[in-house]
Structure 1
Amino acid sequence: MSSTDGKPTAESVAQALSDKIAGKTVLITGVTPKGFGAEAARVAAKMGAKVVLAGRSQSTIQETADAIKKETPNADMKELIIDLGSQKSVRKAADEVLRYSSPVDVLILNAAVMGTPWGKTEDGLETQFGTNHIGNFLFTNLIIPKLLESPSPRVLSVSSVGHFWGQIRFDDYNFEDGKAYNKFQAYGQSKTANILFAVELAERFKDRNLVAFSCHPGGSHTGLGRNMTKEDFQKFPDHFNPDGTPKGNWLRSTSECVANYFIAGFDPSIADKSGSYLTDCKVANEVAAPYALNKENAKKLWELSEKIVGQKFPA
C-alpha cells in the first residue's frame, strides 16, 4: 500500500519486489520496536525473507520478533546480539554469522545513536563515531565471506541528511577527547562516514558482485531523537517550533522512510549504481554533500578505520 499522500511505503515497494525478497537472508541491525529496523524486518518477513534480527538487547529483539510472529506466524527469523559500540561484541556476533549455513544476501546497517552527550565507547572512541561507523565498518568486513556466498549481495549503510552537520575530522575524530565536542557535528561526522563507507565498499568489491548503497530514509518519529532537548530543537527553526513540535510537513511515516531500504536492498534497476546515495526511493547523489561522496575521502576513512580496529581488510 502507498501512503495517503501517494508516497511509496515499505510494503508497496516490497510487494513490487516480492520475487526478489522471498527466500533471501536479510540481516538488519537496530530492530527496536516501532523503529525503522523493526519495520524493515516486519515487511521482509511478510514477503518470505529469512530475517536476522540484530540488536544490543535480547528483550528488544524478542519484542520485535513477537510482534512479527503475530502478523506472520510462519516468519523465518533468528536473533543476533550485537553492541556496535563494542568491538569485542562485534567480533563475537560476526563469528556467529560466519557459522550460518546459508549466505547473507542483504545487510541493512540501520542501528545508530544520535546527539548523545560526550562519551566514549569501551574502545575509547567518541560514542557516535564508534557506534555508527566503526562498529558497522568492522562488522561488515568480518562477515564479507558470508555476503560473498550470495550470488547478488547488497549492503545498505543507513545515513542521514544530518551528514551535512559534519565532515570527517581525520586528525581529531575524538574532538580533543571531548574538549571540542559538539554532538551535532559528531553525529554529522558519523553519518558522513556511513556514506563514505558505502562508496569505498562499492569500489573495493566492484569485481565481486557486491553492491553497496547509503541512504537518507527521511525524518520520522522514532526513538532516535531521544537525546534531543528543547534547546536542541530551537537550533533548527526551519524544521521545529520552539516547543519542539515539527514545523511544516517534512516528517514521514516510518513505513515511507523504510521504503528506501527495500529499493536499496532489492531493486535490480539500480544495481549498476553501486556506491550511490539514495533518498525518496531513488539514487540522488546530487543532494548529498560532495565531501561525503569523495573517493579520496572514502579511501582515507577506510584506512583510518582499519588502523582504529587494528586489522586490514583486503578486497
Structure 2
Amino acid sequence: MTIATSMPAPYNANTTTTELVTDYASLIKGKVILTTGVTLGSLGYAFVQSIAKANPACLILAGRNLTKLDQCGEDLKAENPGLNVITVKVDLGSLVSVRNAAEHINANTQIPAIDVLVNNAGIMAVDYALSADGIESHLATNHLGPFLFTNLIMGKILQSESPRIVMVSSDGHRLSPIRFDDYNFDNGKTYNKWVAYGQSKTANMLMALSLSSKLGTKYGLLAFSLHPGVIATNLGGHLDWSVDVGLQSIDRQQGHHEGWSEFKWKSLEHGAATHVYAAFDRALKAHNGAYLVDSHVADPLVDTLKSWAISSFEAERLWKMSEELVGQEFTY
C-alpha cells in the first residue's frame, strides 16, 4: 500500500460531490455502478444522486427494503429522465440473502459488466445480536455479507475494462483490530457496540487491501476503503449525540486524541464526496489498496490510520477466516 506523500492534495474536507462530479463527468458517463445501502437521506443515496447527473449507463441500487429502493429509483429517474436504474434486494446480514442477490445479478443479461461496486451499506453501534449464521451482527453485515457478495459477482466486475471496488469504512477502525479468536465477544459477555463497530470497519480496510493485492496486478482491479466523515444520517439515528454515546470514553481509555476532541460534522454532499473520489479518480491507480479521507489518500501523520488496518498479514488472515465463515474459498 502506498502512503501519501507531502504533496498537497487537490481535494480536501470542503470538497463536494458537485465539484467532483463536474471534474469526473467523462469518467462517470457510460459506467455501470452498483451501490449497496441506498435509502433516502443516506450517504449511498447522496452518492448515486450526484453521479446520476453525469449520464452513467446504469445505476444498480441494492438494499434490504425493495419498496424503499424502488422509491429511490423513481426519484432518481424523475430528476434524470432516461436514467437506467435496476434495484436488487439483499440483506447483507444473511448469507442466504447475499447468495440469492448475487445469483440474481449474475443471471441478469442487462448487466454484462459492473464497472464500480460501492459497498456502502452498514450498521453502527447496535445492541448485541447474532446473524442467522451465528456471527456478531456488525461483522456479519459490515464485512462478511459484502465479502461474499463481492466475490460472488466478481465475474461481472472483472468484465469491466477498469474495474473498481470501494469499501466504505470509518476512522472508527481505531477502536478495534480483528478479534480473530473471539470475534463474537464471548457470546456477548464482553460486548461493546463501539468495539464491535470498530472491528467491522477494520475488516473493510483489510478487504480492500486483499482485493488490491489478489486482483490488482493480474486483472487491473482497483480497490479502496474510505472514511466519509461524521455525518448525521439514519445510520446513527438511534443514538443521542448530545451526550457521550460511549465512543468518547473508549477513545480516552485507549488513548486516542478523538476522546478529547469535538466531532467535526459534515453534510451529505461533503461526506459522499470521498465516495465519488474513490470510485472515479484516475490518479488513485498509483495507490491501489489505499484508505481515503476527505477526498485524498490518508496521511498517517495527520489522519487517523491504525497499523492493524493496513497490514498485509492481517488482511490475509482475515481473508482466510472469512472464507471459513462463509463456507467458500475464493482464489484468484
Q: Per the shorter chain, which TM-score range? A: over 0.9
* Correspondent of 2:118 among 108, 115, 138: 108
Q: CA deviation at 1:62?
A: 1.8
**Aligned position for 1:93:** 101
- Deviation (angstroms), 1:97: 1.4
Cα RMSD after superposing both structures: 1.9
Does the aligned pair in 2 maintain the 1:193–1:292 contact within 8 Å? yes
- Counterpart contact for 1:133–1:193, Cα < 8 Å: yes
Structure 2's unaligned 5+ residue stretches are 1-11, 252-260
The percentage of aligned residue pairs carrying the same residue is 38
Q: In the alignment, what sits opposite 1:296?
A: 313
Alignment partners' CA distance in 2, 1:216 and 1:83: 23
Aligned partner (choices 146, 162, 167) of residue 152 of structure 1: 162
Displacement of 1:233 in angstroms is: 2.6
Q: Sort the Cα spacing of 1:162 and 1:74 in 2 relative to 1 into closer, same or farther, 3 A.
A: same
- Alignment correspondent of 2:255: none
CA contact (8 A) 1:31 1:61 kept: yes
How far is the alpha carbon of 1:67 from its aligned partner?
Answer: 2.0
Cα deviation, 1:137-178, whole Å, max 9, x if unaligned, reads: 000000110000001100000000111111100001000111
Structure 1 gap ranges (5+): 240-246
Question: Could you tell me whether the CA contact under 8 Å between 1:104 and 1:146 is conserved in 2?
Answer: yes
Task: Indicate whether 1:172 and 2:182 are aligned.
Answer: yes
1:1-315 map, 5 Å: 7-49=14-56, 50-101=58-109, 102-206=112-216, 207-229=218-240, 232-233=244-245, 235-236=247-248, 250-284=264-298, 286=300, 287=303, 288-315=305-332
Which amino acid is 2:77 matched to? K
Count residues with an aligned counterpart: 304
TM (norm. structure 2) is 0.88
Measure, in 2, the Cα distance between the counterparts of 1:6 and 1:71.
27
Is the Cα–Cα contact under 8 Å of residues 202 and 275 in structure 1 kept in the other structure?
A: yes
Deviation at 1:63, TM superposition (A): 2.2
- Asked if structure 2 preserves the Cα contact closer than 8 Å seen for 1:129 and 1:189, the reply is yes
Pairwise CA distance, 1:180: 1.0
Cα 1:234–1:200 change in 2 (3 A) is: closer
How far did 1:66 drift? 2.3
AA partner of residue 172 (structure 1): D
Letter in 2 for 1:24: K
- Counterparts in 2 of 1:185 and 1:103: CA distance versus 1, 3 Å: same
In the alignment, residue 48 of structure 1 is paired with which amino acid? N
Distance change >3 Å, CA 237–CA 300, structure 1 → 2: closer
User: Is this contact kept in 2: 1:44–1:51, CA < 8 A?
Assistant: no
Q: TM-score, normalised by structure 1?
A: 0.92
Which consecutive aligned stretches of 4+ in structure 1 deviate over 3 angstroms post-superposition?
Answer: 229-232
In structure 1, what is the Cα distance between the partners aligned to 2:229 and 2:277?
A: 14
